[in-house]
Structure 1
Amino acid sequence: MSEIKVIPRYSQDRGHADHDWLKTFHSFSFAMYQDFNHEKYSSLRVINEDRVAARTGFGTHSHREFEIFSYVVEGELEHKDSMGNIEVLKRGDLQLTSAGTGISHSEKAHGNKPVHFLQIWSLPSTSRLQPKYFTRHFSDDEKRDTWVRVVANVNAEGVQKDLREGSKQGEGPAPVQSPLTMYATLLRQGQSLGQMMKGSKGYVHVVMRSGYNEGAANGATVRVAGQTLREGDGAYLQVPLAGEVLVENIGDRIAEVILFDLE
């Protein structure tokens, strides 16, 4: 069986912007950062690692035909949208907006502390859908040394579809209209964790938890299919049939890792 091919996407090579109120890294082309070599990967279109200063944020703006989800790492994120949803998201929360035919929303740091979150966009398989909003909560204990499925295709096994919409009413993964699955883990030092992939592609990202760093990443260090990655780093994965992605924590602290299984 052929091995998984890993193409690193190092943190210092990502797009980067410092707007004082917002410090952000872009894994894919976004806003003023444009790189034809990193436009998207399968249905995955945006991974922004955002740090928003206290009492600031993204004012009301509009989207359509994207699946937009926020994975809160630290602090509190206040969400408001044109569907009437108002919610404060905390660590462990995941919020998913299926923009469909169009929504407007704002995302701001809530309270007196900054918020650190991953802003992720994917491309839906079906256009002109009714906009919907979902939130889920996944505790640190749930994610410790295991992969937790936090987002999955609406037709995947175990996904609750429209039955559990809004305000963390549901359990299990948030339903996305894209052909992807998103996993998250908190991997302790010396531990390893495998995940069988269903798609032919994958993407992995190591969350930059130790602090904002414009240069080569410090902090947690993992090995993914033999490739060393540090905080802020990611990698494109090309996966053979029935391939398994193995992540090993080879550093001196807990690593928070996000893995996407893509068609």
Structure 2
Amino acid sequence: MANKLIVRRSQDRGHADHDWLKTFHTFSFAMYQDPTHEKFGALRVMNEDRVAPKTGFGTHSHREFEIFSYVVSGELEHKDSMGNTEILKRGDVQMTSAGTGISHSEKAHGAAQVHFLQIWALPSTSRLPPTYSTRRFTDAEKTDAFVKVVAPVGAQGVSAEREASGPAPVHSPITLYATLLSPGKTLTQTMNGRKGYVHVIMTGGYEVGPAKGAEVKVDGTALREGDGAYMHVGAGEVLVQNTGDKVAEVLLFDLE
């Protein structure tokens, strides 16, 4: 049976321009509420944010979410109530398991805006003790290969250490792969879950039009920057082809 894809076009997502923050919401978030796009599997929030220099999200609290940041460009300054202070750069993936409750702030560090994806997942177990971890991945690792950057706690190759090699540990049935796919290249990824979600990162800018930016085909369906697709996995494999003339940065979620 072939995979079933339901496309989520960039222009159909929630979005806002607050001057200091330019953002797109794949799922319901803040003032954007859409009952048809509340969550998918354990995936609850996926915001693609651009934060202006010397601004950001002040100290605020969370509980009962697995919160991870995928940094695309610029530098993200993270501080939290667990005593963690860190400057995250391109290729870094930072995971906060909020559990019984944490407070944190996230701000643009330095003279450039920071572009990152803020992703929240629903934990498999409630009232976990809060934890923090960081993983670092190079462009070379991700070039024309799917690299596992997030995976469930206890899975093979997943360390609970604050800093380690391999994927960041998440207390949710989510595995996240990332790639930088060159024009003309094709990748195939075997999926273990019944669902998946794919997202093409907006590396070309905040308002990438349909005639600009990278272009890929996922199982034959064309996606541009900012586009995503819900996948009901039937064949067990997903085929991603770069059919454009620019490198495409693609995230692929494997979900139960």
Q: TM-score range by the shorter chain?
A: over 0.9
* Letter matched to residue 235 of structure 1: A
Residue in 2 that maps onto 1:235 = 229
Work out whether residues 75 and 91 of structure 1, in 8 Å CA contact, stay in contact via their aligned partners in 2: yes
Of residues 187, 198, 209, the one that matches 1:193 is 187
Aligned counterpart, 1:12? 11
The residue number in structure 2 matching 1:261 is 254
C-alpha distance in structure 1 between counterparts of 2:57 and 2:112, whole Å: 16
**Residue equivalent to 1:127:** 126
Contact 1:12 1:215 in 2 (8 A): no
CA apart distance, 1:218: 2.5
1:179-190 to 2 correspondence within 5 Å? 179-190=173-184
| Amino acid aligned to 1:232 | G
Q: Distance in 2 between matches of 1:85 and 1:187?
A: 33
- The equivalent of 1:47 in structure 2 is 46
Q: Against the structure 1 CA distance between its residues 258 and 217, is the aligned structure 2 distance closer, same or farther, given a 3 Å change threshold?
A: farther
Tell me the alpha carbon deviations over residues 149-171 of structure 1, each in whole angstroms, 9 at most, x when there is no partner: 000000211111x2x21xxx300
Q: Distance in 1 between matches of 2:166 and 2:66?
A: 18
The C-alpha deviation readout for 1:79-110, integer Å capped at 9, x for no partner, is: 00000000000001000000000000000000
Residues 227-249 of structure 1, C-alpha deviation per residue, up to 9 Å, x if partnerless?
00000000000001x51000000
The question of whether the paired residues in 1 share the 8 Å contact of 2:142 and 2:178 is answered with: yes
Q: Which moved more, 1:148-157 or 1:212-221?
A: 212-221
Large movers: runs of 4+ above 2 Å: 214-218
- For structure 2, which runs of at least 5 residues remain unmatched after alignment? none
1:90 is matched with: 89
Does the CA-based 8 Å contact 2:208-2:225 persist in structure 1?
no
CA distance in 2, matches of 1:232, 1:43: 21
Residue 35 and residue 138 in structure 1: after superposition, are their counterparts in 2 closer, same or farther (change >3 A)? same
Q: Deviations over 1:55-80 (max 9, x none)?
A: 00000000000000000000000000
TM-score by length of 2: 0.98
Offset at residue 216 of structure 1 (A): 4.2
- For 1:47, the aligned partner's letter is M
Query: Given residue 171 of structure 1, which amino acid in structure 2 is its aligned partner?
Result: S
Q: How far apart in 2 are the matches of 1:218 and 1:126?
A: 42
Q: Which amino acid in 2 is paired with 1:220?
A: A
RMSD (Å), alpha carbons: 0.9
CA distance in 2 between partners of 1:217 and 1:261 (Å) = 29
Matched, 1:252 2:251: no
User: Map of 1:97-112 to 2, 5 A cutoff?
Assistant: 97-112=96-111
Question: TM-score, length-normalised on structure 1?
Answer: 0.96
Identity of aligned residues (%): 71
Structure 1: unaligned runs, 5 residues or longer: none
Return the letter of the residue paired with 2:203: R
Q: Structure 1 252/214 Cα, relative in aligned 2: closer, same or farther at 3 Å?
A: closer
Question: Counterpart amino acid of 2:149?
Answer: V
CA positional deviation for 1:222: 0.1
1:35 Cα deviation from its structure 2 partner: 0.3
Match of 1:222 in 2: 216
Q: Deviations over 1:27-77 (max 9, x none)?
A: 000000000000000000011000000000000000000000000000000
| Mapped contact 1:143–1:184 kept (Cα < 8 A) | yes
CA contact (8 A) 1:12 1:216 kept: no
2:70 aligned residue: 71
210-219 vs 85-94, greater mean Cα deviation: 210-219
Maintained 8 Å contact 1:151/1:174: yes
AA paired with 2:172? S
